[in-house]
């Protein structure tokens, strides 16, 4: 590892981040640069299988995960920004580690599989780096705590696991900790892990509207001014499926990367290249919180 970086790992963007969501990709590049994290995109990575892979054949996520694991180097961790991709990677890892015959089968197809490498969510990485920086008393250049922003942290269902996949040290409050660390307030609210309806949104929009409205109204009634999520699909569903009465509540849905970038000294008013992608305009909330210098 070169001295310019505090952490180096592989990066698995996942299909959603690779074909859209520039409003999250752009601030993420800034955050990685400022936190001195070097993430190298895995060459020729493939889809993790998403919801559809395991839905029709439970071997698909294992096979696709096996190929992804064969593309990385031994001992180098993989950072994954999408909670749903993370769960599919964890499923593949579980099967490859506990069933030697499965691993052999895929090693014949893809060559050596490094399934013992660590995989981690990008928010776990942020939490780790920020905590270490705080312990050392390190202050980032241009650091501006996001004072006065009340946030409902929405994990989505990506943070739910069956028992075998549950990490032994899994914490249920990592994103809350990050959000509080960067100076914003978090609210207690009923639906941090409620499903946003995922792919059903594309097939039956009316079901998605019901679930999303429940989530957004829940956040509003608990006093939140905005929702933050780490899952790009949740972000899209929450903004796209909100019914018009919910839209009037004016709760924008931020990506965690955007808030991180603002904390690390980016100016909100200079980044119309992020905000223009939002279907619910976040500018009034940013102005109200004093983060928008007019």
| Spatial contact of 102 and 95, defined as CB atoms under 8 Å apart | yes
Q: Which is nearer to another protein, 109 or 188 (CB)?
A: 109
The answer to the question of residue 10 lying near another protein (CB under 8 A) is no
Q: Residues 157-176 vs another protein: string with x where CB under 8 A?
A: x--xxxxx------------
Stretch that binds another protein, among 43-51, 141-149, 247-255, 256-264 (CB under 8 A): 43-51
Which residues within the stretch 262-291 sit at the binding site for another protein (CB under 8 A)? 276-277, 279
Which residues within the stretch 187-246 sit at the binding site for another protein (CB under 8 A)? 193-195, 197-200, 202-207, 211, 236, 240
CA 37 to chain centre: 16
**Nearest to residue 77, comparing CAs of 32, 142, 43, 125?**
125
Is 166 buried (19+), middle (13-18) or exposed (0-12) by CB count in 10 A?
exposed
Pick one of 27, 53, 192, 282: the residue that binds another protein (CB under 8 A): 53
**Nearest to residue 214, comparing CAs of 180, 251, 259, 185?**
251
| Spatial contact of 208 and 241, defined as CB atoms under 8 Å apart | yes
The answer to the question of residue 114 lying near another protein (CB under 8 A) is no
How far apart, in Å, do the first and last CA atoms of the chain sit? 42
Binding site for another protein (CB under 8 A): 15-16, 18-23, 44-47, 49-60, 63-64, 66-67, 87, 109-110, 157, 160-164, 193-195, 197-200, 202-207, 211, 236, 240, 276-277, 279
């Amino acid at each position: 590892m070169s001295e310019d970086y505090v952490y180096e790992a592989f990066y698995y963007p996942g299909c959603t981040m690779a074909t859209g969501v520039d409003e999250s990709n752009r601030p993420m590049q800034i955050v990685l640069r400022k936190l001195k994290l070097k993430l190298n995109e895995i060459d020729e990575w493939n889809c993790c299988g998403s919801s559809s892979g395991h839905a029709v054949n439970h071997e698909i996520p294992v096979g696709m995960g096996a190929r992804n694991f064969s593309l990385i180097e031994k001992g180098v961790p993989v950072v994954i920004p999408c909670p749903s991709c993370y769960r599919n990677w964890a499923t593949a890892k579980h099967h490859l580690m506990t069933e030697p015959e499965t691993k052999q089968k895929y090693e014949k197809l893809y060559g050596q599989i490094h399934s013992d490498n660590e995989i981690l969510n990008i928010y776990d990485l942020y939490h780790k780096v920020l905590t270490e920086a705080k312990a050392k008393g390190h202050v980032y250049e241009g650091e501006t705590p996001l004072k006065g922003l009340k946030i409902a942290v929405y994990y989505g269902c990506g943070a739910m696991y069956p028992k075998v996949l549950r990490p032994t040290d899994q914490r249920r409050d990592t994103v809350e900790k990050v959000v509080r660390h960067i100076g914003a307030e978090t609210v207690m609210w009923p639906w941090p892990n409620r499903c946003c309806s995922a792919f059903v949104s594309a097939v039956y929009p009316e079901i998605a509207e019901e679930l999303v409205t429940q989530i957004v109204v829940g956040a509003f009634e608990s006093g939140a001014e905005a929702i933050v999520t780490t899952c790009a699909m949740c972000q899209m569903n929450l903004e796209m499926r909100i019914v018009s009465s919910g839209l009037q509540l004016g709760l924008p849905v931020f990506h965690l990367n955007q808030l991180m970038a603002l904390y690390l000294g980016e100016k909100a008013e200079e980044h119309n290249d992020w905000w223009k992608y939002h279907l619910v305009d976040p500018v009034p909330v940013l102005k109200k919180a004093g983060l928008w210098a007019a």
